[in-house]
Amino acid sequence: MTAFTPVLPERTAGYLRAGLHQVKGWLNVSTAVYLSGVEAAQRGAGVSGDVAEIGIHHGKSFLCLALDLPADQRAVAIDVFDDQTANLDQSGRGDRDIFEQNLATYGAGDNVDIVQSSSLDLEQAGFVAAGRRFRIFSIDGGHTDQITVNDLRIAERTVVDHGLVVLDDVLNRHWLGVITGLFSYLGDGGSLVPAVLVPNKLILATSADQAKHCRAMFAEQFPDGLEKADVPLAGHQIDVYGDRPWLVRGEDGRSEPVTGHELMATITAARLGELEQQLRSARAELDTTRRQLDATRQQLRTAAQPLYRRAARRLPWLVRPVRPVLRRVRAVVRRPR
């Protein structure tokens, strides 16, 4: 089922429609829609604060948060970039030059601050105590359990009351350090509260009340995306939002699809059931045809044998030259399917 995004600012809408697939990275299209929609909804609700992301790569998800920000808000990009000695688990390889080119291409360069650092060094560098506070803090850096706990602690201490923290790869089977770190953080008294799961990212709020507010905001902004409500997770209730083919709505009133976004979700359950039935029927018909072919081969062998023997007795001079040909014919007839 095709779904409509909330109305998005023009740069954001344009990036989703035509730019997202141009930027290298790992970001589900629907998750890009959810991130962009939440950022716009927060701004519309008057939530103040900057936005930040740990782990930039080329800026694919960062641009969902950084476009069209008000003049008094900044977007902070944190990455080790070419200092790969600080990339402890080799989870991605950021490229600052390409990132800055993408910022310029999509119009986000003027309000972006770049912090080239490991997130493990942020607190010592004064990042937490500096007073900068965020309404959205995206975590997509190192994927070990220790780094995940560190980054959640950094986000917890710098996000505003109505802010949200977005944790990437929480259910990625290749990076189990993330979910291990999440449960360690929650088990050790972390105050962030899980609220919404979108494809490959968990969104956390600053309190149980704010988690309820987040879930209500998602229900209002993305009614067609909800897959399952009230799912238990670590003692909390979350809502699960899935992948959809989106029509991106801009402030100019146009609704256009995300370029190159093709989904199995575009096939309805009824149509999928119909296709499965057709496949079963085709397989049954193929089995019947094979059985008929086997029977026909057997009939041909049975009919040919007496004719061949009779010809061999009466016309040996004729049979002798064609025996090699007949042997090949019999071999083909007897060949298993």
Q: How many CB atoms lie within 10 A of CB 223?
A: 10
Q: Return d(Cα 301, Cα 309) in angstroms, integer.
A: 12
H or E segment at 99?
helix 96-106
Q: Return d(Cα 222, Cα 206) in angstroms, integer.
A: 21
What band does 8 get if pLDDT is binned at 50, 70 and 90? Answer: very high
Length of the chain counted residue by residue: 337
User: Residue 329 has what pLDDT?
Assistant: 61
Q: Which residue has the higher pLDDT, 63 or 266?
A: 63
Q: Are strands 226-233 and 201-205 parallel, antiparallel or unpaired?
A: unpaired
User: Residue 282 has what pLDDT?
Assistant: 75
Q: What is the mean pLDDT of residues 133-151?
A: 96
Q: Which residue has the higher pLDDT, 331 or 258?
A: 258
Return the closest-CA partner of residue 200 out of 164, 224, 166, 239: 166
Q: Which residue has the higher pLDDT, 57 or 130?
A: 57
User: Residue 207 has what pLDDT?
Assistant: 97
User: Residue 322 has what pLDDT?
Assistant: 61
Q: Phi and psi of 187, rounded to 5°?
A: -70, -25
pLDDT tens track for 223-245: 999 999 999 999 999 999 999 99
What band does 302 get if pLDDT is binned at 50, 70 and 90? Answer: confident
The per-residue DSSP string of 123-140 comes to TTTTTTTT---EEEEEE-
Whether 308 shows a pLDDT value over 80: the answer reads no
pLDDT tens track for 100-113: 999 999 998 789 99
What band does 95 get if pLDDT is binned at 50, 70 and 90? Answer: confident
